[in-house]
């Protein structure tokens, strides 16, 4: 039999595990879960939305740290919206 297929995880799914923590990540997870930015998997859209909402630098820095940690997960699903706004470039990490 072949290797079991691992399910891809989104940033929102990743952040849900921190929602009850009393930490910086927990603060961000609760904010992220309650905002419309949580519907996207694109790093630059979340950051853009946070700046538009006038989030503090603290919250933006916590978000960036969470993205760096999320990027280390082998089955992470990450996408970036192209600068012209006409498409999403998405890639998935090779699980080999």
Whole-number pLDDT of residue 81 = 52
Total domains, the chain: 1
In a domain, 34, yes or no: yes
Residue 19 has pLDDT above 50, yes or no: yes
Under DSSP, is residue 36 helix (H, G, I), strand (E, B) or coil? helix
Residue 89 has pLDDT above 60, yes or no: no
Whole-number pLDDT of residue 86 = 52
- Per-residue pLDDT of 40-76, as tens digits, reads 556 667 777 778 878 888 888 888 888 888 878 877 7
Radius of gyration of the chain (CA): 14
Residue 28 has pLDDT above 80, yes or no: yes
In a domain, 30, yes or no: yes
Domain that holds residue 44: 11-77
Whole-model pTM: value is 0.64
In a domain, 83, yes or no: no
In a domain, 38, yes or no: yes
In a domain, 46, yes or no: yes
| Of 1, 18, 9, the residue nearest 66 (C-alpha) | 18
């Amino acid at each position: 039999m072949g290797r079991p297929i691992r399910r891809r995880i989104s940033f929102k799914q990743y952040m849900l595990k921190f929602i009850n923590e009393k930490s910086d990540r927990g603060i961000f997870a609760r904010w992220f879960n309650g905002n419309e930015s949580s519907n996207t998997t694109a790093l630059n859209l979340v950051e853009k939305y946070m700046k538009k909402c006038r989030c503090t630098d603290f919250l933006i820095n916590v978000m960036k740290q969470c993205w760096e940690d999320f990027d280390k997960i082998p089955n992470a699903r990450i996408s970036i919206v192209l600068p012209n706004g006409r498409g999403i470039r998405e890639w998935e990490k090779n699980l080999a």
